[in-house]
Amino acid sequence: MTYNLTNYDGTFLVSVANSTVCTSATSLALIGQNAVNFGLPLNENFIYLLQNFASSTPPASPIAGQIWYNSVTAVMNYYDGMEWLTLSPPYDGNAGTAQVMINQQTSITLVLSGGSIVSAISNVPINPSQFPVQPVYVGASTFQLQDFFPTGVAAGITLATIPSNSQWNTGYTFRGTATSANILATARNITIAGSATGSVLFDGSNDVVLTATLVNTLNGNIISNSNVTQIPNWFTNVFVNSNGIVTDATTLNDQDVYNAIGYTPPSIILFSGDVNGNTVSNGTTWTSNVYINTQANLTPGYYSNVYVGANGLVSSANNDNAVPTSGIILWPNLATIPSGWAVCNGQTIFLPDNTTIISPNIANSAPTGTTYIIRIV
């Protein structure tokens, strides 16, 4: 009689003929009806199952769900129908994962390494006051959750502190590149140096404002020659340093102008030759007082003959006849009446002593083109 063997799920595995032992279908010897000497393979099957085929190499002809203990790595493996996969225990007393009940509704998953808690995974935040008062058991080890998570557990992954190691009392850290984070573990001080100073503490939890102060800038008041100028203000002369910052400010003076044009302009303009005079400046306007040079041998007065030089100045003068100092004389109509004389036309004349006289009325008797004038003063 042939044995038609099936898998646990009912699917056909192999047919074992009468009086035979099949050793190729699986890792065990499958014994057919009326097989002789079946005791040896049967006993070996039990031993293989007890040892989970303990060996440095996997068993031959495995089937899905079969267990194999790798005697070299001391790791349990299982066959998924295609390949051998590692079957690691959740926690082996040294490393792994374990589920811990916080209360009847909440549990967390602990990740352990080196016999200590590294992190906790939770789908809800848990306050430290919600932790069990008594230590929790993970395998044969006990842990006080408050010691590893003094601020509680956040929704997500929370790294544990290490209460037994002062060198690591800040807790475990992630290594690598984080795409996002809520806060820096250690706040950093951002500092500006150089032409400006300023600093601010930044931990990533909030936006910060860094207030900068320019270095070596003008502030307060400027005191120059006992004059106080308040800042801000307008200035005509400023000093700008290599960083483009105004570090000094004054008002332009004469020397600033001389330095700018490259020479010192004259402060006095002198006149010589036919004229003389002086100049006065108020800083914006030059005023010149000019006088025509007088001739030492020429007495001011009226002359019938004058000599005009090449410079346009009268250098000498005389009269054809001496001008009388009193009496009545003929005078050209077009000539200017000399000071102290009056036309003889019967006019009333007011004298300096407030008296009056009447000049003779003889104008009609004068030759053509002339008139009579009389000395009155």
Question: In the chain, what are the domains?
Answer: 3-87 (no CATH), 96-168 (no CATH), 221-261 (no CATH), 266-321 (no CATH), 323-375 (3.90.1340)
Task: Name the phi and psi angles at 79, rounded to 5.
Answer: -105, 125
Tokens of 131: 């932790």
3-state secondary structure of 51: helix
DSSP 4: E
Tally of CB atoms within 10 A around 63: 15
Half-sphere exposure for 277 (CA within 13 Å, toward CB): 13
Question: Which of 181-185, 193-197, 351-355 is predicted least confidently?
Answer: 181-185
Average pLDDT over residues 288-308: 74
How high is the mean pLDDT of the chain?
A: 84
Q: Which residue has the tokens 């006992």?
A: 226
pLDDT at position 145 is: 93
15, 5 Cβ separation under 8 angstroms: yes
Q: How confident is the model at residue 221 (pLDDT cuts 50, 70, 90)?
A: low
The amino acid occupying position 8 is Y
Is 94 or 80 the better-scoring residue by pLDDT? Answer: 80
pLDDT of amino acid 176: 77
pLDDT band at 78 (very low <50, low <70, confident <90, very high): very high
Please, which pLDDT band fits residue 240 given cuts at 50, 70 and 90?
Answer: confident
pLDDT of residue 277: 74
Per-residue tokens: 369: 């083109």
pLDDT of residue 242 exceeding 60, the answer is yes
Q: Tell me the one-letter amino acid at 225.
A: N
Residue 130 is predicted with a pLDDT of 93
Answer yes or no: is pLDDT of 219 > 90.
no
Question: What is the structure's pLDDT at 154?
Answer: 93
Neighbour count for residue 138 (Cβ, 10 Å): 20
**Does the pLDDT value for residue 17 go beyond 90?**
yes
Instruction: Please give the pLDDT value at position 199.
Output: 93
Judged against a pLDDT cut of 80, whether residue 160 lies above it is answered with: yes
**What is the model's pLDDT at position 163?**
67
Region of poorest pLDDT, from 39-48, 264-273, 365-374: 264-273
pLDDT band for position 247 (50/70/90)? confident
In the chain, count H helices and then E strands: 3, 29
Strands 314-318 and 107-113: unpaired
Other Cβ atoms within 10 Å of 237 Cβ, number: 12
Q: Is the pLDDT of residue 323 over 60?
A: no
User: pTM score, two decimals?
Assistant: 0.36
Asked whether 165 and 156 are in contact (CB, 8 A), the reply is no
Q: Is the pLDDT of residue 270 over 80?
A: no
Q: Greater confidence, 132 or 278?
A: 132
